[in-house]
Amino acid sequence: MIPAMTPAATALRAGWARGLIELRQSFTNAGDLLAHLLWPVLMLAVLYFMRDRPFGSEGLLLGTLALPSILGMNAAMGMVSMAQTLTAEREDGTLLRAKATPDGMRSYLVGKVVTVAGGLFVQLAILLLPGLLIIDGLAVGSLDAWLTLTWVLVLGMLATLPLGAVLGSVFTSSRGQGLLQLVVLGMIAVSGIFYPITSMPEWLQGTAHFSPVYWLGLGMRSALLPESAVSVEIGGSWRQLETVGALGAWALLGLAVAPFVLRRMARGESGSSVAARRDRALRRIG
């Protein structure tokens, strides 16, 4: 006899299994593999060309500054994958299937977090390991650097994944998703990823504080850059407390709103709503 399990335990276990299966699928399928590799490879190319460009008078190199920032941006992109997956899987009925299965919705969400976060970690590794060979001047020799990297990443995912789930439930059409992408690109542009934020106009620097991309980039730089690089940051500080505060606030907001929004979305799912969305999508194509 199978031991009795609480529904929460089932949801966690099934969700974990589900996440791993989908993660494996995304690495054994040519299209997905390309998508996983394209972005890191592109970024590595950018870094390669930036690697010798000096910035400021401290002897810092632009490539050195950009690598941790790009890692942070990448982590923040989990928000977009989460939103896109939700929209797509609502359209093809995966969500409805989850709804028709006992404890299915919770497992589905656990599974999505595992898949998206797992994919991000792999992408991060693809970017970071060759990046360490191309780029000089990173401070990765200490345990401290890796610990900081870990907490920034975990907190960053907590901040961006629930938020992505909320955005995915709110924007139901692919047009909405396009808009969302535009907003995220704007966020990246003002977040000082490719060029230090202190060289931007002050009002833009102000805007960046609302973007989780900025805080993830800052956190990553605080982990991987030498102490001297702090001079190009706002206020000449890594502002780790503020990073925890800002990412923590996004995480709390996302975690507070997500269950409510997701429940509302799930309530609306039925065979006819899935069929209606598909008809709309087909009309757009046809």
Candidates 19, 78, 93, 219; binder of another protein (CB under 8 A) is 93
Q: How far apart are CA 109 and CA 115, in angstroms?
A: 10
**What is the footprint of another protein within residues 130-189 (CB under 8 A)?**
none
Candidates 59, 206, 236, 271; binder of another protein (CB under 8 A) is 271
Residue 285 half-sphere exposure, CB side, CA atoms within 13 Å? 6
Candidates 40, 148, 269, 277; binder of another protein (CB under 8 A) is 269
Candidates 48, 89, 255, 281; binder of another protein (CB under 8 A) is 89
Q: Which string of b and e fits 18-56 if b means at least 16 CB within 10 Å?
A: bbeebbeebeeeeeeeeebeebbeebbeebeebbeeebe
User: Among residues 57 and 272, whose Cβ is nearest to another protein?
Assistant: 272
**Beta carbon of residue 157, minimum distance to another protein (angstroms, whole number):** 24
Which value, in Å, is the radius of gyration of the alpha carbons in the chain? 20
DSSP 63-88: HHHHHHHHHHHHHHTHHHHHHHHHHH
Is 107 a residue that touches another protein (CB under 8 A)?
yes
Candidates 39, 56, 99, 244; binder of another protein (CB under 8 A) is 99
User: Among residues 19 and 212, whose Cβ is nearest to another protein?
Assistant: 19
Q: How far apart are CA 238 and CA 197, in angstroms?
A: 13
Is 8 a residue that touches another protein (CB under 8 A)?
no
Is 272 a residue that touches another protein (CB under 8 A)?
yes
Is 209 a residue that touches another protein (CB under 8 A)?
no
Is 4 a residue that touches another protein (CB under 8 A)?
yes
Q: Which stretch binds another protein (CB under 8 A): 92-100, 139-147, 200-208, 221-229?
A: 92-100
Candidates 40, 68, 78, 104; binder of another protein (CB under 8 A) is 104
**What is the footprint of another protein within residues 16-45 (CB under 8 A)?**
17-18, 21-22, 25, 29
Which contacts of 99-107 are long-range, i.e. CB under 8 A and separated by 24 or more positions?
99/266, 99/269, 102/7, 103/7, 103/10, 103/11, 103/14, 105/262, 105/266, 106/7, 106/8, 106/11, 106/15, 107/10, 107/11, 107/12, 107/14, 107/15, 107/18
- In DSSP terms, which residues pair with 60 in a beta bridge? 55
Candidates 270, 276, 279, 280; binder of another protein (CB under 8 A) is 270
**What is the footprint of another protein within residues 210-249 (CB under 8 A)?**
none
- CA angle 75–76–77, rounded 5-degree value: 90
- In DSSP terms, which residues pair with 61 in a beta bridge? 54
Candidates 101, 142, 150, 181; binder of another protein (CB under 8 A) is 101
Q: Which stretch binds another protein (CB under 8 A): 91-99, 149-157, 195-203, 208-216?
A: 91-99
- CA 196 to the chain's CA centroid: 21
Q: Which stretch binds another protein (CB under 8 A): 14-22, 164-172, 186-194, 245-253?
A: 14-22
Site residues, another protein (CB under 8 A): 2, 4-5, 7, 10, 13-14, 17-18, 21-22, 25, 29, 89, 92-94, 96-97, 99-104, 107, 269-272, 274-275, 278
